[in-house]
Amino acid sequence: TTKLILDLDTGIDDALAIAYALGSPDAELLAITGTFGNVTVDQGVRNALAVTELLGHPEVKVYRGLPHASRVGSFAVSEGTRRIHGANGIGEVTIPEPTRGPESEPAVDFIIDAAATYGKDLVIVPTGAMTTIAAALAKAPGIKDQVGGIVMMGGALTVAGNVSAWAEANIAQDPDAADSLFRSGAPVTMVGLDVTLRTLLTTAETRTWRALGTPAGDFLADMTDYYIGAYAAIAPHLGGCGLHDPLAVATALDPTLVDTLPINMRVDVDGPTRGRTIGDPARLNDPVATTLAAVDVDVPRFLGRFMERITALARG
Ligand code: BDR
Ligand code: CA
């Protein structure tokens, strides 16, 4: 089994990523660390606590990450993001308040400790602003040689961005952090829009969750229908919602789901293309490429596994 730390800005597809991890017999969800993006850190931590409880796993520990990019002094959720994930981040669905709180240790320190403890068995999956994981690598650069990998959802190499023609949302939240992650030398797999916009969910699937007649099934269906509705309004040509963050978790557990291109990546941190993820010309001919950029995905195999695992979990 792979030990996972999910570093989430718990919005809708992040919550689906939690469900995927909890429904995976080949995964051990060590903890969730909270970042910002779809929601504030505090809202994301609260969502992670509440969602794990609703899904029957109150034992999952949740740590609080950094609340904003280092370059700016604060963070506020954008109007566009609120339209996609809802003001509460989980599609305006009301679920019981969590009965437990976050751990007192900061997420950065927890990640550093976990890397030393679990080594190659540990894969970290950041699916929001890369601020916390970048800070952990800056504080303890040795992590890069300890962990099994960092499978991040973010960026776009072969397709356009989703917040601008260049930038994908998780990178746009903190381009400096994403750039330092790519340059850290850590073994990064980039699961970007190149692949996540090919793995789509529709109401045909959410109906099967609702038909289970369980609180978890109702929650997952209601929350995801909000997301599907937002995608229908914003990107009707897709015909469904992108399973961004669950695909990153699935790839962390089974890298054969995607085809990757080894390439040293960088992020444009200034200028009009701020937030763009692109191959680094200065490191193009380095003997080792530390990033594997996913450029293709086995859609039926992933979608089949996604439905199987999440439906089994929601059945209870
Ligand atoms: C990414 O941005 C967030 O809105 C989603 O949760 C996902 O991690 C997609 O661009
Ligand atoms: Ca996310």
Of 128, 171, 135, the closest CA to residue 277 belongs to 171
The conformation of residue 98, written as its DSSP 8-state character, comes to P
Ligand 1 first shell, C-beta below 6 A: 11, 13-14, 37-38, 127, 153, 162, 168-170, 244-245
The residue whose CA is least distant from atom 10 of ligand 1 is 169
> Is 244 one of the annotated active-site residues of the chain?
yes
pLDDT digits (tens, 9 = 90+) for 160-218: 999 999 999 999 999 999 999 999 999 999 999 999 999 999 999 999 999 999 999 99
Q: Report how far residue 124's alpha carbon sits from residue 291's, in angstroms, rounded to the nearest whole number.
A: 14
Q: What percent of the chain has pLDDT over 70?
A: 100
* ipTM value greater than 0.95: yes
**How does pLDDT run across 249-301, given as a tens digit for each residue?**
999 999 999 999 999 999 999 999 999 999 999 999 999 999 999 999 999 99
Residues 267, 168: contact at Cβ < 8 Å? no
Residue 129 to residue 37: CA distance in whole angstroms: 6
What's the pLDDT at 207? 98
| Average of per-residue pLDDT values in the chain | 98
User: Whole-model pTM?
Assistant: 0.98
Question: Hey, what's the torsion of the CAs at 27, 123, 240, 172, to 10 degrees?
Answer: 160
